[in-house]
């Protein structure tokens, strides 16, 4: 049995609406859950958490632990 385009649209309307909303909001969204079993165990342990505070802490630790150089060009008329 084949379905018409309208039937397919009606069947998946909620998913399509959520995808369009994510596009307009410039957000990430997927109807499919992640399966951590497909990733190596070490990669799962090293992956950032879904907790924004934990991610910020990891980023901060990376900056504190490493030396980095900020490269900026001088603005016209500025010295050192």
The DSSP secondary structure of 11-54, one letter per residue, reads HTHHHHHHHHHHHHHT----SS---GGGS-HHHHHHSPPS-HHH
What is the pLDDT, as a whole number, of residue 41?
A: 81
For residue 1, give every residue at least 6 positions away whose Cβ sits within 8 Å of its Cβ, in sequence order, or none: none
Q: Which sign, positive or negative, has the C-alpha torsion 51, 52, 53, 57?
A: positive
Mean pLDDT for 48-70 is: 67
| Residue 1, pLDDT above cutoff 60 | no
User: pTM of this prediction?
Assistant: 0.41
């Amino acid at each position: 049995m084949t379905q018409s385009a309208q039937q397919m649209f009606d069947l998946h309307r909620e998913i399509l609406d959520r995808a369009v909303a994510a596009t307009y909001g410039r957000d990430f969204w997927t109807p499919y859950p992640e399966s951590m079993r497909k990733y190596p165990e070490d990669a799962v342990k090293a992956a950032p958490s879904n907790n924004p505070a934990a991610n910020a802490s990891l980023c901060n630790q990376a900056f504190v632990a490493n030396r980095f150089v900020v490269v900026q060009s001088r603005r016209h008329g500025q010295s050192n």
